Structure 1
Amino acid sequence: MINLSKICLSILLIAYLGQINLMAQSTEKKRWWTMEEAKNTTTPLQVTQLSLRNQQLTKIPDWIYRFKNLQKLDLSENQISLVPKKLNQLKKLRFLMMKTNVIMGEKMRLGKKFMREYMQKREELKKQGLSKEEIREKMKPLMLKMIMAQREVNSANKAIPLTFERCKYIRELDLSNCSFTKLPPSITNLKRLRVLFLDKNQLEKLPKELAKLRRMRKLSINFNQLNQLDNIKLRKLRRLRELYLINNQLEALPDHICKLRRLRKLNLSRNQLTEVNPKLKRLRRIKELVLYKNQLTSLPEVFYRLKRLETLDLGHNQLRAISPRVVKLRKLNTLYLSFNKINNLPNELGDVISLKKLYMHHNSLLGIPKSLAKLQNLTVFHANNNELLVFPEEIIAMKKLEDINLAHNQLEAYDERIVQLLHLKYLYIHHNKLNKEDESYDGYHQLFDQLRARDVVVTD
Structure 2
Amino acid sequence: MTLLKEVERQSTKSGTKFNAACQQCISENLQVSSRSHLAPSPARSVTAECKRQDDVRHSAKMRFTLKILRSLMSKRTWVISPDTKFTYQTLDLRKSKLENVPENTTRLELLQAVRLDGNDRLDDVTFLGKIPLLRVAAMKNCQLTSLSFPTDMLEYIQLRALEVYNNPYLADFSDLGRLSKLQHLNIGSCNIEVLPNELFELKRLRVLVLDDNPLLEPITDLSPLDKLQVLLMRNCNLTELPHSTRCLSQLMFLAVEQNQISHISSTLNTLENLQVLSIYGNRGIHISSKLGRSQSLKRINVDLKFCQKNLPNKLSKMINVWKDTPCAWWKQL
- Normalising by structure 1, what TM-score? 0.51
Aligned partner of 1:78 in structure 2 is: 12
Does structure 1 residue 342 correspond to structure 2 residue 262? no
Does structure 1 residue 159 correspond to structure 2 residue 24? yes
Q: Cα distance, 1:335 vs. partner?
A: 0.8
**Which amino acid is the alignment partner of residue 99 of structure 1?**
N
Pick closer, same or farther for the CA change 1:240–1:389 going to 2, 3 Å: closer
Percent of paired sites with the same residue = 20
Which stretch shifts more, 284-293 or 248-257? 248-257
Q: Cα distance, 1:249 vs. partner?
A: 1.8
Aligned partner of 1:185 in structure 2 is: 62
Gaps of 5+ in 1: 1-56, 62-74, 81-96, 103-157, 162-177, 431-460
Measure, in 2, the Cα distance between the counterparts of 1:236 and 1:345: 40
From the CA coordinates, give the structure whose radius of gyration is larger: 1
Does structure 1 residue 427 correspond to structure 2 residue 320? yes
Secondary structure (helix, strand or coil) at the match of 1:195 reads strand
Deviations, residues 359-385 of structure 1 (Å, cap 9, x unaligned) = 101111122344212122222111121
Does structure 1 residue 384 correspond to structure 2 residue 280? yes
Measure, in 2, the Cα distance between the counterparts of 1:285 and 1:326: 18
The one of 389, 393, 401 aligned to 2:289: 393
Does structure 1 residue 100 correspond to structure 2 residue 20? yes
1:206-221 mapped onto 2 (5 Å cutoff) = 206-221=101-116
Measure, in 2, the Cα distance between the counterparts of 1:249 and 1:228: 5
Aligned partner of 1:253 in structure 2 is: 147
**Paired residues, what number?**
269
Aligned partner of 2:179 in structure 1 is: 283
Does structure 1 residue 330 correspond to structure 2 residue 226? yes
Secondary structure (helix, strand or coil) at the match of 1:223 reads coil
Does structure 1 residue 236 correspond to structure 2 residue 114? no
Does structure 1 residue 372 correspond to structure 2 residue 249? no
Aligned partner of 1:22 in structure 2 is: none
The one of 168, 171, 185 aligned to 1:272: 168
The one of 203, 215, 224 aligned to 2:98: 203
Measure, in 2, the Cα distance between the counterparts of 1:214 and 1:237: 8
**Which amino acid is the alignment partner of residue 78 of structure 1?**
T
Aligned partner of 1:164 in structure 2 is: none
CA contact (8 A) 2:218 2:242 kept: yes
CA contact (8 A) 1:358 1:380 kept: yes
Measure, in 2, the Cα distance between the counterparts of 1:197 and 1:302: 29
Measure, in 2, the Cα distance between the counterparts of 1:276 and 1:396: 42
Measure, in 2, the Cα distance between the counterparts of 1:191 and 1:58: 16
Gaps of 5+ in 2: 35-60, 74-88, 324-333
**Which amino acid is the alignment partner of residue 209 of structure 1?**
N
Which stretch shifts more, 390-399 or 347-356? 390-399
Measure, in 2, the Cα distance between the counterparts of 1:302 and 1:227: 23
CA contact (8 A) 1:385 1:408 kept: no
Aligned partner of 1:353 in structure 2 is: 249
Measure, in 2, the Cα distance between the counterparts of 1:420 and 1:342: 25
- Normalising by structure 2, what TM-score? 0.69
Secondary structure (helix, strand or coil) at the match of 2:114 reads strand
Measure, in 1, the Cα distance between the counterparts of 2:234 and 2:154: 26
Secondary structure (helix, strand or coil) at the match of 1:335 reads strand
Aligned partner of 2:206 in structure 1 is: 310
Pick closer, same or farther for the CA change 1:355–1:79 going to 2, 3 Å: farther
CA contact (8 A) 1:263 1:285 kept: yes
1:292-307 mapped onto 2 (5 Å cutoff) = 292-307=188-203
CA contact (8 A) 1:216 1:239 kept: yes
Q: Cα distance, 1:59 vs. partner?
A: 6.2
Measure, in 2, the Cα distance between the counterparts of 1:59 and 1:274: 37
Pick closer, same or farther for the CA change 1:344–1:258 going to 2, 3 Å: farther
1:428-443 mapped onto 2 (5 Å cutoff) = 428=321
Pick closer, same or farther for the CA change 1:160–1:228 going to 2, 3 Å: closer
Measure, in 1, the Cα distance between the counterparts of 2:7 and 2:102: 25
**Which amino acid is the alignment partner of residue 254 of structure 2?**
L
Pick closer, same or farther for the CA change 1:202–1:377 going to 2, 3 Å: same
**Which amino acid is the alignment partner of residue 244 of structure 2?**
E
**Which amino acid is the alignment partner of residue 251 of structure 1?**
T
